[in-house]
């Protein structure tokens, strides 16, 4: 089943799990609409016809949901009865740590073991370097930035591009690097507006140039930065919020491969008795992680990405280059402009 936000790579993982389970002599089923579907008994036998055309499809053909009802024991019991009727004794769930915790509660109630596959474009699950959907989302963002740059150069404009990621700046940081953006603001790294302005002056004064700023949604400063660039830099500035387009699209080769590898290992883990494990990819190796080491833990972007991004930016002090600075303080009204609050910890 798939739970929480959809992510490219879920469908290839579903197909791989079904195929591998069948190879091992199991009788695979699929659950539609996530935990809500589990409660309502939306469970079907996974036929070959059902999974044949899945691998190239984006999102999740099993659909997804977030379920408040699953917190209620009686609804969990209802879900268990649906599984018992079909002799289903193992579950694989794709989603985030909330989904994993939900099935852990389910195991504590009814001893139905599970395996978890990390799937979120935010790439913010602790214990794994990669979650399904990230590569596809990165490529969607890059395509959008490249397209926006064409119109930005045509009109000597600045564009602020807001990416998803909640409180994690991974998507914004990696796509800013890969697109040679001029500004990147993420929750993890400090910034200073006046330093940005000074470094951007050659770009501002150059004919036919443009400014591309990539901002993580968790900073909540996209609109502020748009106004600041208009007023301080004197450039016509537009805001583009990419939103849920980042979740769509046919999965890339990497997400298809990662989905396949995660899913086959999840089936093998359950078949070998390694229950309630989360599939992870760390330092180039696939493995398992306990729920305690994943759910509820704080995810941090790996230091090598931050270090690489920072050193790359430092070597590009003029012209186009990515500059990383920290979360922007709240807007404060000043005389005819935008000012930093006096108590803000700007570097």
Q: Annotated active-site positions, please?
A: 122
74: Cα separation from own chain's centroid: 32
């Amino acid at each position: 089943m798939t739970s929480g936000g959809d992510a490219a790579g879920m469908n290839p993982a579903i197909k791989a799990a079904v195929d591998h389970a069948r190879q091992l002599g199991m009788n695979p089923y699929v659950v539609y609409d996530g935990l809500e579907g589990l409660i309502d008994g939306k469970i079907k036998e996974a036929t070959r016809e059902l999974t044949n055309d899945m691998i190239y499809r984006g999102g999740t053909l099993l659909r997804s949901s977030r379920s408040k009802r699953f917190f209620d024991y009686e609804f969990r019991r209802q879900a268990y009865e649906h599984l018992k009727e079909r002799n289903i004794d193992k579950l694989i769930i794709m989603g985030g740590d909330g989904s994993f915790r939900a099935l852990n509660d389910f195991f504590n109630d009814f001893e139905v073991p599970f395996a978890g596959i990390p799937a979120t474009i935010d790439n913010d699950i602790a214990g794994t370097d990669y979650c399904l959907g990230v590569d596809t989302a990165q490529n969607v963002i890059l395509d959008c930035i490249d397209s926006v740059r064409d119109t930005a150069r045509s009109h000597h404009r600045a564009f602020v591009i807001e990416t998803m990621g909640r409180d994690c700046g991974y998507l914004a940081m990696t796509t800013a690097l890969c697109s040679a953006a001029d500004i990147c603001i993420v929750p993890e790294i400090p910034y200073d507006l006046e330093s940005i302005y000074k470094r951007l002056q050659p770009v501002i004064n150059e004919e036919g140039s443009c400014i591309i700023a990539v901002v993580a949604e968790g900073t909540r400063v996209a609109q502020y930065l748009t106004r600041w660039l208009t007023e301080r830099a004197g450039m016509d500035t537009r805001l583009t919020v990419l939103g849920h387009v980042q979740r769509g699209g046919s999965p890339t080769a990497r997400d298809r491969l990662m989905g396949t590898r995660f899913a086959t290992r999840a089936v093998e883990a359950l078949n070998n008795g390694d229950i309630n494990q989360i599939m992870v990819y760390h330092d180039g190796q696939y493995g398992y992680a306990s729920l305690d080491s994943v759910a509820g833990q704080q995810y941090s972007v790996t230091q090598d990405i931050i270090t690489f991004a920072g050193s790359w930016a430092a070597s590009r002090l003029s012209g186009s280059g990515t500059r990383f600075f920290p979360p922007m303080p709240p807007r404060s009204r000043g005389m005819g402009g935008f000012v930093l609050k006096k108590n803000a910890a700007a570097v």
